[in-house]
Structure 1
Amino acid sequence: MIDTLAKVFLNTEKTYQKEALMLVKREGQYRPISTAEFSQRVRNISAGLRALGLKREDKLIILSENRPEWVMVDLAAICLGAVTVPIYTSLTPQQIRYIINDSEARFVVCSSPEMWAKLEVIKPELPLVVRYIMIEDLAPAGVLPLKEVEKEGEKENQQKPEEFEKIALSIGPDDLATIIYTSGTTGVPKGAMLSHYNLVSNVLALRSVIEFTNKDTALSFLPLSHVLERMCTFAWIYVGATIAYAESVDTVAQNLVEARPTIMVSVPRLFDKFYARVIDNVLSSSSLKKKIFFWALKVGRKHAQKKINKERISFWLKFRYRLAYKLVFSKIVEKTGGRVRFFVSGGAPLSRDIAEFFYAMGILVIEGYGLTETSPVIAVNRLEDFRFGSVGKIVPGVEVRIAPDGEIWARGPNVMKGYFKKEAETREAFEDGWFKTGDIGYLDKDGYLVITDRKKDIIVTAGGKNVAPQPIENTLKTSPYIANAVVVGNHRKFVSALIVPDFDKLEIYARENNITFANRQELIGRPEIYEFYMTEVDRLTPHLASYEKIKKITLLDRDFEIEAGEMTPTLKVRRKIVEDRYRNLIDSMYAE
């Protein structure tokens, strides 16, 4: 029985020998890494770490961008019984210092001189760290290049060929595999302790409801520090699927075309941007092309609805859809590489409009739901059983209860062991054996889970009405002119919004309408721009109840930033920080 991540690795190296288990961009083109090479490198790194003194239950930090070596180091440490602690590369040196010290890490692996620069300034404040290792070869004094670790490991494996497997098979399903620090939209990060079986159970549950095989290729670009990408990586390895690594978030569009994946996991922000880019291209095209596009979209939506409702599709509709696909959709699908079977969206709510737009073109985006603490998937839509606007049905083995106040509680083999060294916070997170997610939602009559919002984010107006800001914000962000939005109005008479314009598109609009401006601040201060955005907000939100309607807006001259603490590394807005930072602007919207 496969019940540990070590057994996942051992099974894959025996069962799925292939020329391209991984694809990595080198010298301008994707090159394969075979199962044999991957397996040997994991074994050598593991033996090398063992020779350097990494022991069972020791903590090892990984501070690196997505790359094959990230996964190799992760599995090498895990197969030793050590515990890996991933850190987002976007974090500041002070945030990195906190995680290294709080996790009591003894080994730190970083990717490059750029990441080492963050470590070097805090090195004197890391008393427990005994070894620094760099994946790239240009390691400074006192830092060991990974290839040296591998060389030492190769010798170890030659002298003790049975040792790796002996240790790997001694690991139990309840043993700690990783500590993942929640990026946290509020407060100090907490280290969620996930066991081997927490993650393996989620892999097995996902595999039982969604088909993915060794014939699939997945594009990896969501940071491996994110629990969703990490668990999915274990899932792809479990079935021997090929993993292609995007060079960066900025090159995803290009890498999609080059790697031609069948699956990709993402957060909604990528789908929002893809949608905005398509609409932007359409709006800037000729009137004939616009007419053809919106005709095709109308046909695509009708065709999609028939498929969802499992209704008979007439010959005439099939014919029109084939024509729409040939004239319009095929050109858009080509930009994804042309082979995509499905996309996965997680980490934040996906706008229903965006999901329906993709499905009209023949691309299914399945939305799921979970948290770091649940390894992560609690619910997911299936390829043949999905409902847009929901996060799907509960995965096998997991139970969900809706508390009296609407909070979602979960129980199952995927739920964490607790927060590292934080017993009070762990006790607070559970009630009668149920993990309290902090999300508000409900199960519909057919068993699909619908998320309303984060419990702590619900706005209660001065009139006592509850307003969920996230669905409204997701709707606003479907506008090509809106890059970001935060809805406010807690204990206020009405709801307002902070809006970050998409300045590239706004500046084009201003020039086309002879609106002069010297800089962004002047542009967003123009009354006609304010009116334009209010009209756009009203256009997008006719479905809102009167108490949910956005009565006023404030335009901001820059987007929220990770470095400024306004967003988490997974691009979620830290609402409290944003509201505190823009308190004066918010107050001015409510001045009598």
Structure 2
Amino acid sequence: MDAGHLAVMFAGSVARHGELPATRVRVDGEFVVQTYAELGAQVRQLAARLIDRGLAPGDRVAIFSTNRPEWSLADLACATAALVSVPLYPTSTPEQVRHIIRDAGATVAFVAGQAEIDKLTEAGLDDVAVISFDELDGVTGLSDELAAAPSDFTAVEERLAAARADDLATIIYTSGTTGEPKGVMLTHRGFTHQVAVLNRYFTITPKDSSLCFLPLSHALERAWTYVVLADGCLNTYVPDPRTVAEMMVAAKPTLLASVPRLFEKVFITAQEKVADSPLKKRILAWALRTGSAYHDVLRAGKHPAPLLTLKLKIADKLALGAVRDAMGGPKVVLACGGAPLRTEIEEFFYGCGLLVLQGYGLTEASPLVTFPSSASIRFGTVGKVMDGGELRVSDSGQIEYRGPNLMTGYWGKPEETATTIVDGWLQTGDVGTLDEDGFLQITDRIKNLIVTSNGKNVAPAPIEGLLASDPLFEYTLVLGDNRPYLTLLVAPSLPHLEDIAHQLQVSWSKREELLNNQQVLDEIRRRVSELTAKLPKHEQIRDLRLLIEGFTQENGLLTPSLKVKRREVEQRFSALVEDMYNRAGKFLKR
């Protein structure tokens, strides 16, 4: 058996941690817990059943479900049976489901329940064998498959004996902000190498627990779950990500991997609570300064002075403790990835006693490329390259990476693979810089860079990050490629939009009326001008439009990692965009 294989790694964890809790999920208000021994036994049973179904090594099996313990059960069973799992996002449309399953050639699909079965039917995939996690009349259930598993595990043992770290583990179809999803082929070694590296830098023990709320079909949550299960920790699954705030408090995880949106919401909520009182603002600012000073001393390896310790206790009672409580308490690892996190938010959580470790990765790298350790962190960067990997920045500014966790290529797309991996180096499509100490800073996606008709290069992400500091701007999109100046589309926070209208004493019967109200627009333009006042002239916003339709995964304007799909937004609202540029001369008031 190859220790670099996921199934072998998990079997070792089961042997070491058998009686410890492995998974839990809240059902009807109560946690349902499964031990490592119980999970391990079901993994072997399901693997035996999949082999008994006639699935050969390398066959593809789809997993189409929200986060739940059965997701990991199906995934680990596939690994144990030498099969290749193909995850689908719960929010996938029937068209996306059809493309992925047909492209991958999956013949079996694990699904959460009826909603996923309906999509398979609408997609015309009646020839795919369905196994439902939910018990449904007339549908083969997971419990049926476990009951039908052969008692002889010889076939399972034979496949484990033949398992190799370089075997294909999964094909993850990139959600992407542009273009048709491509199947990224990742090996077992890609994931297990990351587990080994992270365990060199972080002390994660079976006493720790994690909250699994990002989609498991996303490479970040998937890879992090392997870390959690390899180290004998408890993984709490969150089927509905809308309940994450509630679940953080209920589960009190000591480990958490998230995308920036969660941290942004907590930050904005804290700012809103003090917005109506200058005194409360000063208290929060003092508390954050105190917390930062205290933790600076600790990070320097020194003991805080008694007076500073006393100040911290006061700051905790006044403000900081409430933020930590909202995040479910102290954290051993609090990771952030998927998109850049603003430095002011990193500093905010640091002051609260929560060190956010912002890393960088891509699905094509399984996904880890860089990360900071608790002992080596620099705000505004995404850490240093992972052990065993190499990083460089090309003359054009593109970040390039190679390492043992790199994909073997795109499924069935050798030409696209050849343009993405050049001489062994992954062309990430991201622009960034490396400082003299090896810390990486991300600027933007190459495809997102705007070149105005005046020849000015603009990275929109930093501008959008500035605007995000105002809770009004829930999502923004800076435009201006091959145009004379920049404009802005705003999907506002509707409650904040209404607050502005109330403050301005504007009356309305429908929210849509606020989109074109001159007083409201003037106030929003004032805020944009104020937030971007220090930017160079060519990075100033010259006009904007409000959108009543928000950006969501359901309407196809957000990726599962909550990044805006720029092309889709521009196409959806092309009439508004053209209107802005046709009204030349109507610029923002300076």
TM-score with structure 2 length normalisation? 0.94
Q: Secondary structure at the match of 2:359?
A: strand
User: For residue 226 of structure 2, what is the aligned residue in structure 1?
Assistant: 234
Q: Secondary structure at the match of 1:408?
A: strand
Q: Which moved more, 1:573-582 or 1:34-43?
A: 573-582
Whether contact under 8 Å (1:177, 1:196) holds in the other structure is: yes
Whether contact under 8 Å (2:175, 2:560) holds in the other structure is: yes
- 1:454-465 → structure 2 map (5 Å cutoff): 454-465=445-456
- 1:161-560 → structure 2 map (5 Å cutoff): 161-284=153-276, 288-303=279-294, 315-560=306-551
User: For residue 61 of structure 2, what is the aligned residue in structure 1?
Assistant: 60
Once the two structures are TM-superposed, the CA of residue 292 in structure 1 deviates from its matched residue by: 2.4
1:246-301 Cα offsets, whole Å, 9 max, x none, are: 241111111111111001111111111121222222225x5544442233234334
Once the two structures are TM-superposed, the CA of residue 549 in structure 1 deviates from its matched residue by: 2.1
Identity, % of aligned positions: 38
Change over 3 Å in CA distance of 1:490–1:539 after alignment to 2: same
Once the two structures are TM-superposed, the CA of residue 228 in structure 1 deviates from its matched residue by: 0.7
1:334-390 Cα offsets, whole Å, 9 max, x none, are: 122223233211111111111111111111111111111100000011112111111
Whether contact under 8 Å (2:48, 2:153) holds in the other structure is: no
User: For residue 556 of structure 2, what is the aligned residue in structure 1?
Assistant: 565
Once the two structures are TM-superposed, the CA of residue 210 in structure 1 deviates from its matched residue by: 2.8
User: For residue 81 of structure 2, what is the aligned residue in structure 1?
Assistant: 80
Change over 3 Å in CA distance of 1:119–1:404 after alignment to 2: same
Whether contact under 8 Å (2:500, 2:520) holds in the other structure is: no
Once the two structures are TM-superposed, the CA of residue 314 in structure 1 deviates from its matched residue by: 5.5
CA distance in 2 between partners of 1:55 and 1:535 (Å) = 63
- Gaps spanning 5+ residues in structure 2: where? 585-590
Q: Which moved more, 1:419-428 or 1:308-317?
A: 308-317
Q: Secondary structure at the match of 1:21?
A: strand
Whether contact under 8 Å (2:330, 2:354) holds in the other structure is: no
Change over 3 Å in CA distance of 1:302–1:469 after alignment to 2: farther
CA distance in 1 between partners of 2:416 and 2:496 (Å) = 45
Q: Secondary structure at the match of 1:32?
A: strand
Equivalent AA in structure 2 for residue 227 of structure 1: A
Once the two structures are TM-superposed, the CA of residue 182 in structure 1 deviates from its matched residue by: 0.5
Change over 3 Å in CA distance of 1:545–1:314 after alignment to 2: farther
Once the two structures are TM-superposed, the CA of residue 563 in structure 1 deviates from its matched residue by: 3.3
1:46 is the counterpart of 2:86: no
The RMSD of aligned alpha carbons is 1.9
Q: Secondary structure at the match of 1:354?
A: helix
CA distance in 2 between partners of 1:227 and 1:349 (Å) = 17
CA distance in 2 between partners of 1:491 and 1:312 (Å) = 56
Q: Secondary structure at the match of 1:102?
A: helix
User: For residue 69 of structure 1, what is the aligned residue in structure 2?
Assistant: 70
Once the two structures are TM-superposed, the CA of residue 547 in structure 1 deviates from its matched residue by: 2.0
User: For residue 120 of structure 1, what is the aligned residue in structure 2?
Assistant: 121
1:411-435 Cα offsets, whole Å, 9 max, x none, are: 1111001000111111111211111
Equivalent AA in structure 2 for residue 377 of structure 1: L
Once the two structures are TM-superposed, the CA of residue 517 in structure 1 deviates from its matched residue by: 1.7
Once the two structures are TM-superposed, the CA of residue 330 in structure 1 deviates from its matched residue by: 0.8
Whether contact under 8 Å (2:284, 2:319) holds in the other structure is: yes
Equivalent AA in structure 2 for residue 346 of structure 1: G
Once the two structures are TM-superposed, the CA of residue 102 in structure 1 deviates from its matched residue by: 0.3
CA distance in 2 between partners of 1:278 and 1:294 (Å) = 11
User: For residue 152 of structure 1, what is the aligned residue in structure 2?
Assistant: 148
CA distance in 1 between partners of 2:344 and 2:179 (Å) = 33
Q: Which moved more, 1:303-312 or 1:420-429?
A: 303-312
Once the two structures are TM-superposed, the CA of residue 111 in structure 1 deviates from its matched residue by: 0.7
CA distance in 2 between partners of 1:321 and 1:461 (Å) = 49
Q: Secondary structure at the match of 1:62?
A: strand
Whether contact under 8 Å (1:486, 1:498) holds in the other structure is: yes
Whether contact under 8 Å (1:419, 1:426) holds in the other structure is: yes
CA distance in 1 between partners of 2:488 and 2:293 (Å) = 33
Equivalent AA in structure 1 for residue 133 of structure 2: I
CA distance in 1 between partners of 2:579 and 2:294 (Å) = 47
Change over 3 Å in CA distance of 1:19–1:391 after alignment to 2: same
Paired residues, number: 582
Change over 3 Å in CA distance of 1:308–1:518 after alignment to 2: farther
Change over 3 Å in CA distance of 1:246–1:565 after alignment to 2: closer
Change over 3 Å in CA distance of 1:333–1:470 after alignment to 2: same
TM-score with structure 1 length normalisation? 0.94
